[in-house]
Amino acid sequence: MRERKEQLLAVIKDPSYVPMKLKELAILLQVPKERREELEEILAVLVAEGKLSLSKRGKYSIPEASVLTGIFSGTARGFGFVTVEGRQQDIFIPADKSGSAMHGDRVQVSAEPQQQGKRAEGAVLRVLERANQTVVGYYQKSQNYGFVMPDNRKLGQDIFIPQGKDLGAVTGHKVVVRITDYGAMGKGADNAGGKSPEGVVTEILGHANDPGVDILSLVRAYDLPEAFPDAAMKQAAQTEDKVAEEELCGRKDLRQWQTVTIDGEDAKDLDDAITVSREEFGYRLGVHIADVTHYVTEGSPLDEEAYRRGTSVYLVDRVIPMLPHRLSNGICSLNAGTDRLALSCIMDIDSQGRVIGHEIAETVIRVDRRMTYTAVNAMITDRDPAMMEEYADFVEMFDRMKELADILREKRKTRGSIDFDFPETKIVLNEEGVPLEVKPYDRNAATKIIEDFMLMANETIAEDYFWQELPFLYRTHDNPDPEKMKRLGMFIRNFGYAIHFQNGEIHPKELQKLLAKIDGSEEEALISRLTLRSMKQAKYSPVCQGHFGLAARYYTHFTSPIRRYPDLQIHRIIKENLHGGLTEERIAHYHKIMVGVATQCSATERRAEEAERETVKLKKCEYMEKRVGQVFEGVISGVTNRGFYVELPNTVEGMVSVNDLQGDFYVFDEGQMELRGETSGKTYRLGQKLQVLVSGTDRVNRTIDFVTAEGTGKTRQGGKENFEGQH
């Protein structure tokens, strides 16, 4: 089809071409009647890709220069924005010009010329690809019909449910709806009379207040797969639970090497193990990764399902794995005391942290001890006597690990690698899913050691395969947008900091220096987050474009094939190469599929991140419901013209609305990132500490409302708020 699409585009792009209907094009191209359906199919694909436009009269032509293709981002108030690849600013779409577009749809828009200092405005001409076939929301019953209010308020409108299409749902049920008619939000180009979208209830998840329904609603909303297909489960069931003797043939036997895994207490899918030894030249570091591709072969049911999932998803109350537990927690998991097949990257590293030699090999290993971050940290940081006695045979290796990790981290720091040391959120739930505790979860020295070793293996593998000029999948991070960096530079001047540009570009070392300067300051968390938001998102690519944040020329993801498909994909290429099986035909095959794999893996990663973030916000909201009326001290973490956000020490964030700031009219100063009272001169600025009262929560929108504590007659008593004790 690719060649026929290009031939057809060449005809339509010809200067002598005039817009034609299908029948006229068929005559021009001498397409017989029996093949006109084929022509229509190719035309439809080109329209869907945005390469052709179809007029109301059914004529095909090349889109005008002002007609662009992009992704529509909706808002609860109906208007939206379209992000066009390669265009720095998105296009504003008023509510009455959004047609039937819904959040996430791929659309074709007409854009008016951009005026200086203003965002370009446009109108949706056509929806090319729907992002939402189904919607999850709250059902409300009327006498002869119903409505579903989507959980995702960016979808803009409630879904009308005709009588008899509600599956028996009652008011208060959370339901899944299949959209049958997208209607139109206004008088856009896709005008359908301004009517609401319409749908059919396909599943009742339970009452909104039932335990577990909140997370289940998010699972459905993000279309996260739960049960594995029968074919995949059948293949998993046929997998042996022990390594057979014949499987060891041709593998490097490392079972005598002192080997450990270091993970969190709750981890069950252990996909990386470590060995470190002291040598004359420095250190020998072995990073041994589960040989998942030995069991998940290309094109098999397990492989197809792993590709579809793209990644394991770690929600607050559950894990949705990429592979069935029989593999992820069984034969693929590097469990202590058992023979396991691995793909190892063994690196010789000198005392300056330079890799002076390496070997990539299929191996068999046997992990000696399953360690936790807590236990290892107790030895290398706290020198805990009891722990050091319990693991006496391993203390020397852990000390070597810390030595080497410190060297590697310093080397990365010297070249400019940026380390965002944000505390993650840890949420403790009871058996019914009710949050008992919300607290920051900091990395310790042991977690950093594993990160350092995984980074080193990823870089070593990426550089090796880049110079072999073989098809590969890289982890890339583009340079930040200069305009965003300039805005960051303007903002941090308010705190007395500066970043320097060279020829309009910024080197990661500048941001690293900034983070070092703010280390331990009151504004550290604030500036760190703003710096991160000013950078682009990392993604997967078949082209090695470097990693800005790590200041690395070569980078890939090699170390987590149990939970990430990109790692699984490159393991397959590496193993095939080790066996001399990368023929021209196989190389062509990998070149052909790699763009699709990169796109799929980047998309599923985004989906997982969003779902994980939303479940955390949901549980934070539920946790704060019981604290309405209480006062806490926090720091202003964001300022807009609608109000400002305040983050509490336990990582919970809420908003103080400008409408709740009494006694003055407040104006937003974007340059200073502050709200300032016109008569009082009182300011609310980024990084400012203040006390806030929890005034309300909204689980549907996953928001928490604060008001300033001043004037309420309430203050926080004593020292820092003890969140842990308020069950």
* Mean of pLDDT over the chain: 89
Contacts of 596 (CB under 8 A, 6+ apart): none
Residue with more model confidence, 672 or 708: 708
State the average pLDDT over residues 695-701.
Answer: 89
The CA-based diameter of the chain, rounded to the nearest angstrom, is 88
pLDDT of res. 65: 58
> Domain check: are 242 and 283 in the same one?
yes
**Are 642 and 602 contained in the same domain?**
no
Tens digits of residue pLDDT in 570-596: 999 999 999 998 999 999 999 999 999
Name the CA dihedral angle for 54, 60, 66, 67, rounded to a multiple of 10 degrees: 40
Out of 496, 513, 533, a domain closes at: 533
- Burial state string for 20-58 with b = 16 or more CB within 10 A and e = fewer than 16: bebeebbeeeebeeeeeeebeebbeebbbebbbbbeeee
Pick the closest to residue 336 from 267, 417, 400, 425 (CA basis).
Answer: 267
Residue the block writes with tokens 């034609």: 20
Q: Residue 349 in 3-state DSSP?
A: strand
Name the domain boundary from 493, 518, 533: 533
pLDDT of the residue at 113 = 66
- 204 and 336 co-located in one domain: no
Q: Which residues contact 454 (CB under 8 A, 6 or more apart)?
A: 272, 287, 559
Q: Is residue 291 part of a domain?
A: yes
Residues 543-549: contacts with CB under 8 Å, at least 24 apart: 543/474, 543/476, 544/462, 544/466, 544/472, 544/474, 544/476, 545/474, 545/476, 545/478, 546/476, 546/477, 547/475, 547/476, 547/477, 548/477, 548/478, 548/479, 548/480, 548/508, 549/417, 549/418, 549/477, 549/508
For residue 54, the enclosing domain spans: 2-61
Q: What whole-number distance in Å separates Cα of residue 691 and Cα of residue 635?
A: 8
The region of weakest confidence among 1-10, 67-76, 393-402, 549-558 is 1-10
CA dihedral 407, 413, 416, 419 (to 10 degrees): 120
| In a domain? residue 620 | no
Specify the number of domains making up the chain: 5
Per-residue pLDDT at 186: 47
Answer whether residue 621 is part of any domain.
Answer: no
In this prediction, residues 532-548 reach a mean pLDDT of 92
Pairing relation of β-strands 252-253 and 355-366?
A: parallel
Residues facing residue 159 across a β-bridge: 148
Residues 161 and 76 in one domain: yes
Residue 535 CA neighbour count, 13 Å, CB half: 24
pLDDT of 155: 86
Is residue 127 located within the same domain as residue 265? no
Evaluate if residue 711 carries a pLDDT over 70: no
Most confident option among 47-61, 555-569, 654-668? 555-569
Domain boundary among 574, 592, 614: 614
Residue 726 pLDDT > 50: no
| Res. 723: pLDDT tops 80 | no
Q: Is 30 helix (H, G, I), strand (E, B) or coil?
A: coil
503 and 471 both lie in a single domain = no
What is the Cα–Cα distance from 131 to 553, expressed in whole angstroms?
35
36-87 pLDDT, tens digit per residue, is 888 888 888 888 777 788 887 888 887 765 678 889 998 888 889 998 876 7
Region 655-681: what's the mean pLDDT? 87
Task: Say how far apart CA 439 and CA 649 lie, in whole Å.
Answer: 8
Are 573 and 690 in a shared domain? Answer: no
Q: How far apart are CA 542 and CA 123, in angstroms?
A: 34
In 86-130, DSSP assigns E strands to: 91-93, 106-111, 122-129
Report residue 514 as tokens.
């900034």
Mean per-residue pLDDT for 122-143?
90
Does 164 share its domain with 120? yes
The residue with tokens 């002192």 is: 258
360 in a structural domain: yes
pLDDT digits (tens, 9 = 90+) for 313-323: 999 999 999 99
- Angle at 197 (CA atoms; ends 195, 198), nearest 5 degrees: 110
> Using one digit for the tens of pLDDT, what is the confidence trace for 281-291?
999 999 999 99
- In the chain, the amino acid numbered 149 is M
User: Which helix (H) or strand (E) segment is 290 a member of?
Assistant: strand 282-290
Judgement on whether residues 83 and 32 belong to the same structural domain of the protein: no
CA distance 200 to 145: 11
pLDDT at residue 359, rounded to an integer: 98
Mean pLDDT computed over 438-464: 93
Contact 556, 570 (CB under 8 A): yes
pLDDT at 722 over 50: no
The pLDDT of residue 140 is 94
Report yes or no: 18 and 60 within 8 Å, Cβ to Cβ. no
Q: Report the C-alpha gap between 74 and 82 in whole angstroms.
A: 9
Domain-embedded: residue 223:
no
Is residue 619 in a domain?
A: no
**pLDDT value at residue 442:** 75
Q: Are residues 100 and 197 in the same domain?
A: yes
**Residue 218 in domain:** no
CATH number of the domain that 25 lies in? 1.10.10
Is 379 inside any structural domain?
yes
Same domain for 445 and 588?
Answer: yes
pLDDT at 111: 80
Is 571 found in the same domain as 633?
no
